[in-house]
Amino acid sequence: MKATHLFLLVLIFLPATLWGQTVFKVKYESQADLRIFVVDYESQCDLKVYFVDYESQADEDGLWYFVKYESQADKKIYFVDYESQADLKVFIVKYKSQAGWNKTEKQHLLL
């Protein structure tokens, strides 16, 4: 593979792996890209999430910003009532610095 091709691939995929997410909460499960369950304990989660105040702050994994319109979102999410229904289990953290992956095998869900 030529160096220029490799560079282009890095430019395409790097932002998706390093940035947070803009999310939109949908009303119905069938509209969602991801079904989310909020766990009670950090040790149970796949991802530790911190909700930021501005879209520009969603620049790392686990930093989520809720957008006003579905078309603005990277991912449409639906909060489920039971852990067994979830694609991704999250724990809401109090501080931005705590956000990030607890279990990396589900990273592909946010790409």
3-class state of residue 54 by DSSP = coil
Burial 35-74 (b: 16+ CB within 10 A, else e): ebbebeeeeebbbbbbbbeeeeebeebbbbbbbeeeeebb
8 A C-beta contact, residue 99 and residue 62 = yes
pLDDT of residue 8 exceeding 90: no
- What is the average pLDDT across 79-98? 97
**pLDDT value of residue 10:** 45
C-alpha–C-alpha distance, residues 38 and 85, integer Å: 11
Average model confidence (pLDDT) for the chain? 87
Query: Residues 36-81: pLDDT tens digits?
Result: 999 999 999 999 999 999 999 998 999 999 999 999 999 999 999 9
Across 1-5, 23-27, 98-102, least confident range: 1-5
- Measured over the CA atoms of residue 15, residue 17, residue 20 and residue 26, the dihedral's sign is positive
Q: Which residue has the tokens 């501080």?
A: 95
Contacts of 102 (CB under 8 A, 6+ apart): 42, 43, 45, 46, 47, 48, 91
